[in-house]
Chain A
Amino acid sequence: MENALLIGLSRQVALARELDVIANNVANVGTNGFKARSARFTEFLMPGAKADAFKPADRPLSYVIDKGTPLDLSQGAMELTGNPLDVALKGDNYLVVQTPNGERYTRAGSLSLDRQGRLVTQTGLPVMGEAGPISFGSSEHSMRIAADGTVSSDQGTRGKLRQVRFADPSALASEGTNLFSSTTPPQAAGPEARLEPGAIERSNVKAVVELTRLMEVQRNYQSIANMITKSDELRSRAISRLADQQA
């Protein structure tokens, strides 16, 4: 009897987890370069008791546990900003950002300069070129980024944005602040890597999909709650009926 309750509970925990994922996607609907995550669950079969201490159940009990929250790696919408240091990456490439904890990867291509003239992200972390961070002298102006990632000013080329790709991009770990980290080293994107200057990649959260999933989660949660209520009523009725029997 408790099994129905516990299995229902495992489903409710999973649904609450899925709601958290949806809430994070919806909250980041305006975050540039954001990649949505979805929740994946798996059936978890309760192992039968060993040493013949218990009789095996007539049917297996399957609980649900969360398996992972894979990234949705589809391209977000491109928004033209006209800002010469904004870049939107095409394909499945990433920019490399130097952080105190090592290299991190991002698709949020809204770059700017810091006071030393270095090309940095919105959080001020240097963006890596193929030969280290890219910086400009104080007398330079008219900085721009070409479609192949070449960064130049009026005084010539200053470097080329390092673009990388991953054999398994869905294994990237989200770090927050628009950064991803990877346990496996990335590969160079190759000379055919292209980016769109003067544009940024918006969040790839699909509002309709998220809200549909939101409704689904909510209804499922309520139906599990009803099921638990029903099984509880069943139990209390059974107790009262059995108590009425005269010995």
Chain B
Amino acid sequence: MRAMQTAATGMMAQEMNVQVISNNIANVRTTGYKRQQVHFQDLLYENFRRAGSATSDQNTQAPAGTFIGSGVKTVSTGRVMTQGNISPTEKPYDLAIRGEGFFRVRMPDGRTTYSRDGSFDLDAQGQLVTRDGYQVEPGITVPNNASSVSINAQGIVEAMVPGQTAPQQLGQIQLVRFVNKVGLESIGDNLYIETAASGQPIDGFGGGEGFGTLQQNYLEEGNVQAVTELSSLIAAQRAYEMNSKVITAADQMMSATTQMFRG
């Protein structure tokens, strides 16, 4: 029976849905996390009788055709790139992007990755690095005798150096944006890489045309809303159950068929 395979595609789709929802819930406190959303599409239809086909030689037409669908498939698990809440941390190297833009992070293997997670620190050489020790591009080195480091909305890093009255400018944190940021690929660790779908990165700075601004001492929280995720989880679970009911019904109908002739 076709209904069994159709319902099986429904169960697989809802299983995928639950996987994505549980990943969202697991990352409800992840800095800069962007929630994922599953999109489904219906599968091919078998057309037994086409709508508009002639039903007589008097030019009458069938008003509706017979279409038997074959289930559902997952088409994408795109990220919803809306702004997360900005929460204060009172740490000088914590940066939140308000609006558009990603930080550029250089991986140890030389690749360039992109992140919304601005929880940075200094390494032993005084370089601005992510929590995993990867360098934030362009490299910014804070002298070890510097005090009161400030980063403004445009990303310009300044610090007071002993013996100078004016703050010394150490560099400017670069931001990038993409035409289709939903097309970025996640590689874990709050990092994204460029893909053919995302388009080329467009460089810029905080406050520039099309870019958001930076906020020192703040971090961007994940944009997962626990209530929404939990209600989606319930809906997904019920949808899974309904598909399993269809399989049960198809099974019992087949069993009725096999027991019709007891000999």
Contacts and interface: CB of A to CB of B under 8 A. Distances in A.
SS of B interface (majority): mixed
A228 B260 contact: yes
A171 B66 CA distance: 10
A116 B179 CA distance: 8
Interface residues of B, number: 74
Interface residues of A, number: 71
B48 to A, nearest CB: 7
A221 B198 contact: no
Contacts of B242: 26, 29, 207, 210-211
Contacts of B259: 225, 229
Interface in A66-111: 66-71, 81-83, 108, 110
A218 B180 contact: no
Given A21-B68, A30-B40, A222 B253 contact: yes
Interface stretch (B69-77, B107-115, B134-142, B150-158): B69-77
Interface stretch (A49-57, A134-142, A185-193): A134-142
B124 to A, nearest CB: 38
B35 to A, nearest CB: 10
Closest 7 CB pairs of A and B: A27-B10, A24-B69, A23-B3, A115-B199, A23-B6, A141-B210, A68-B64
Interface of A: 12, 15-17, 19-24, 26-32, 34, 37, 40, 66-71, 81-83, 108, 110, 112-117, 122-123, 136, 138-142, 154, 168, 170-178, 183-184, 207, 210-211, 214-215, 217-218, 221-222, 225, 228-229, 232
Interface of B: 1-4, 6-7, 9-10, 13-14, 17, 37-45, 47-52, 62-72, 75-76, 78, 80, 82, 100, 177, 179-180, 182-183, 196-200, 202, 209-210, 235-236, 238-239, 242-243, 245-246, 249-250, 252-253, 256-257, 259-262
